[in-house]
Amino acid sequence: MKYIIVTGGVMSGLGKGITSSSIGRILKNMGYEVTAIKIDPYINIDAGTMNPFQHGEVFVLKDGGEVDLDLGNYERFLDTELTGDHNITTGKVYRAVIEKERRGDYLGSTVQIIPHVTNEIKERVRSVAEASGADVCLIEIGGTVGDIESMPFLEAARQMQREEASHDLALVHVTLVPVDAQGEQKTKPTQHSVKELRELGLYPNIIVARCASTLPVAAKEKIALFCDVPVNAVISAPDAMDVYYVPLIFEEEGLSDYLMDKLELNASDSQSKWKKLVKRMEMTDESGNQISIAVVGKYIDLRDAYTSIGESLKHAGIACGYKVDIEWIDSDNLNGTPERVRESLRGFDGILVPGGFGERGVEGKIRAIEYARKNDVPFLGLCLGMQLAVIEFARNVLGWEDANSSEFGVTAHPVIDLLPEQHDILDMGGSMRLGNYEAVLLEGSLAHQLYGSLKIVERHRHRYEVNPEYIDEIESKGMIFSGKNRNRMEIAEIPSCKFFIGCQFHPEFKSRPENPAPLFKGFVEAAIGA
């Protein structure tokens, strides 16, 4: 097994996740099986309880793992499906160590960070890597070097660097080269951050320098000298037009050559598939073909909260040769008169209402859905977005003005409700229906047409469902449930509209650059036709 450990310095948000994913993609393009692990040094067990306002999207894996959004990048770049074990947090590590201690596994020893916690980290990394069957495992250590929380993980990395053969482990440090007022690229922050890493006993093999524009040789030489790496191991990572350009930029910068050498891998060039994708993106940009989609959500101030939705729209756009321009609309601002709602939504080729939790912003989303339905604007509702489409239909077509979800209070028409099965999940200590579940599609429905199959598997993250008691009445008025998992309604559509579809699951987690999610593709196609 080859390991590539990625650390970061100077500041957060430098794009370590994209760097790791891009390195992985380069190796995958060369024919290697690649897997990836994200280490998050926070104490939370997983990202499930984290607020998207603070931390961005919670990405959901096939096994129901609720994880950091970087795992979404790995899945998209590597076109793979990971499991919850691929996200290691301080919470998971300490919980395991404490459980072992209580069981007496440590035979009376004093349990310490070194070796017990660091051994737990190394064991987890190695067993996840081995179990994946991959040739190469990327390990991205979240946070920046110097954070208190990262210390046990960096120490585990140091030990791994010692234990693994030199051709089996490469350490990549991602850092920043800012530009000063005179326009000069400054390497000092990089030098300091590498110095800090070296004080911890970690010696980077490759420096990836985030910069506004490609580093000149002189800057690379300076970094190489101060950081004790060869010049060809200093890789510029200039701001890119799109994250999917990054693997090719790294390739041009010689990263793959250096990695091949260091890890004694056999280079076989086959970047062509990825090149084709990037070429298609360039051609789409040049064509000037563009559609404009309104995403009506409540976490819009932090764009990271909807990363997978943005990516999925992009994937669908690439497949259709159209650039998808996304307008993020705060649902709280759609609370005015119908005229104001119309004013805000007029002119979009499609309206998407994403998932969410809690009551804030819900009424604005319902108004957006009403606007889409009445004006026959292509509509895609995801999870809460589908539930709200059912509520809107119940209120405005069936005339049940008080129709609502029991998530938002008691009502005489709880068209969205907790099913008895959900109480079982709650009783078992879980709280949500998570991960992969199957849905059976209705023959001849829009959903069937888009998926081209009668059975699908998609990822879920929700508690509430369409209340089966109301299904007949709703269907009698023209909204049909075209995807079901026994008594759970998975897809709702209105056949009399051009394109109006909502799903209880999250198709955005399975969309890939070269293989867009069917519902997104259909939505974008409908928006192009609009």
Task: Point out which residues bind ligand GLN (CB under 6 A).
Answer: 355-357, 383-384, 407, 461-464
CA distances from 278 to 176, 201, 208, 267, 297 (A): 25, 39, 21, 21, 29
* Cβ-closest position to ligand GLN: 355
> Given the complex with ligand GLN, which of 448 and 461 has the nearer CB atom?
461
Rg (CA), the chain: 25
Q: How far is the CB of 470 from ligand GLN (least distance, A)?
A: 16
Smallest distance from the beta carbon of 405 to ligand GLN, in angstroms? 7
Task: Judge contact between 334 and 365, C-beta under 8 A.
Answer: yes
Nearer to ligand GLN, 503 or 524 (CB): 503
Residues near 138 by Cβ (< 8 Å), separated by ≥ 6? 3, 4, 6, 20, 23, 24, 34, 35, 36, 37, 74
Place of tokens 């499930």: 48
Residue owning tokens 């017990």: 116
Least distance between ligand GLN and beta carbon 418 (Å)? 9
**Smallest distance from the beta carbon of 391 to ligand GLN, in angstroms?**
11
Least spacing, CB of residue 486 vs ligand GLN, in Å: 17
CA-based nearest residue to 41, from 60, 68, 64, 18? 68
Burial of 87 (C-beta count, 10 Å sphere; 0-12/13-18/19+): buried
Q: Which is nearer to ligand GLN, 169 or 386 (CB)?
A: 386
Of 518, 400, 519, 520, nearest to 467 (Cα)? Answer: 400
- Min dist CB 406 to ligand GLN, Å, is 10
- Residue 382 backbone dihedrals phi, psi, to 5 degrees: -110, 120
Q: What angle do CA 125, 134, 7 make, to 5 degrees?
A: 45
- Reading the block at residue 158, the tokens are 């140091």
CB 316 within 8 A of CB 523: yes
Q: At what angle do helices 384-396 and 362-375 cross, to 10 degrees?
A: 70
Active site residues: 383, 506, 508
Residue listed under structure tokens 């104490």: 43
232, 259 contact by CB (below 8 A): no
Spatial distance between the Cα atoms of 374 and 141, rounded to a whole number of angstroms: 49
CB of 167 vs ligand GLN, minimal distance in Å: 45
Contact assessment for residue 5 and residue 206, using Cβ atoms and an 8 Å cutoff = no
C-alpha 273: how far from chain center: 22
Contact 353, 384 (CB under 8 A): yes
Nearer to ligand GLN, 357 or 437 (CB): 357
Residue 425 or 530: the one with the smaller Cβ distance to ligand GLN is 425
Structure-token pair, residue 18: 């994209």
